[in-house]
Structure 1
Amino acid sequence: MTDPFATTLAQWPADAQARFAHIRTLILRAAQEADIGPLSESLKWGQPAWRPVRPRQGSTVRLMWEAKSPQTLALFVDCKTTLCATMQEIYPADFQYENNRALHFRLDAPLPEQAIDHLARLTFTYHRKH
């Protein structure tokens, strides 16, 4: 099975690729521990994305690196959810928040592992509660 992200990641710098690998591991583990069933890995708008395969489980989380902001990565969630607001309330200093859609963090700062794990669990189980 080929990696759906290989072509996209090849365009990213080494430090962003390394962070991606770590974040992907966190996301996959969070999905498994949240017992959401199979998780889809795909490109959505050219960005690595993860979503529960089973309907009415949860929502999608995407990860993005851009050349115009080379020292940051961003996690994106559905802007129609309360996920960003919830994360900002619980983890006010772990990310730079962009409205109700994105959580930015620097490549040269410690990775907010607990917050990323929590975001993945909240996202993948979002429709169980709403």
Structure 2
Amino acid sequence: MKPEIDTKLSEYPAEAQRKLEAVRDLILAVAEENNLGEVEETLKWGEASYLVKGGTTIRMDWKENDPDAIKVYFHCQTTLIETFREIYPDEFEYEGKRAIVVPLDASIKEGPLSHCLQMALKYHSLKHRPLLGA
């Protein structure tokens, strides 16, 4: 993990840190499993941010004004959240057209979240397919 990401996460409560690290691990695993190349990890707008060539940026953060959840953000001008809502209407809580809300007491595992991350990491090759090829 890059030092600036580690420093940022260390500012958060322990449970939020664990959830953010679990999502980070899942992003890296999805990229590796799908042979998507190197994952660029950086801070954008003060949030941990992940991108691979051919994908769209995934950001994640914990906010003090919503202390019981972390949020995984996607570019709001994509069809990602709209597609996620269609495919997974009951698996997640969504924030507008930009985020999946992950409660701190939720389990981070493969399955729907992994699939959503995969669609974001492959977005530019999927964006013209109905439901992003899901």
- The reply to whether TM is greater than 0.5 is yes
Number of the residue aligned with 1:88: 85
State the AA in 1 paired with 2:114. D
> For the residues of structure 2 that align with 1:77 and 1:6, how far apart are their CA atoms?
21
SS of the residue corresponding to residue 110 of structure 1 reads: coil
State the AA in 2 paired with 1:58. G
> For the residues of structure 2 that align with 1:42 and 1:97, how far apart are their CA atoms?
24
Number of the residue aligned with 2:7: 7
Number of the residue aligned with 1:47: 47
Deviation at 1:112, TM superposition (A): 5.5
Name the TM-score, length of structure 2 as normaliser.
0.87
**In 2 relative to 1, CA 108–40 (structure 1 residues): closer, same or farther, beyond 3 Å?**
same
> For the residues of structure 2 that align with 1:79 and 1:28, how far apart are their CA atoms?
22
Runs of 4+ in 1 over 2 A off after TM superposition: 1-4, 109-113
CA RMSD, Structure 1 to Structure 2 (Å): 1.5
Q: Is the 8 A contact 1:41 1:48 kept in 2?
A: yes
Same amino acid, percent of matched pairs: 35
Cα deviation digits, residues 36-88 of structure 1 (max 9, x gap): 11110001100001001x3xx11001111011111111110001111001111
Number of the residue aligned with 1:97: 94
Gaps of 5+ in 2: 128-134
- Number of aligned residue pairs: 127
Gaps of 5+ in 1: none
> For the residues of structure 1 that align with 2:37 and 2:86, how far apart are their CA atoms?
28
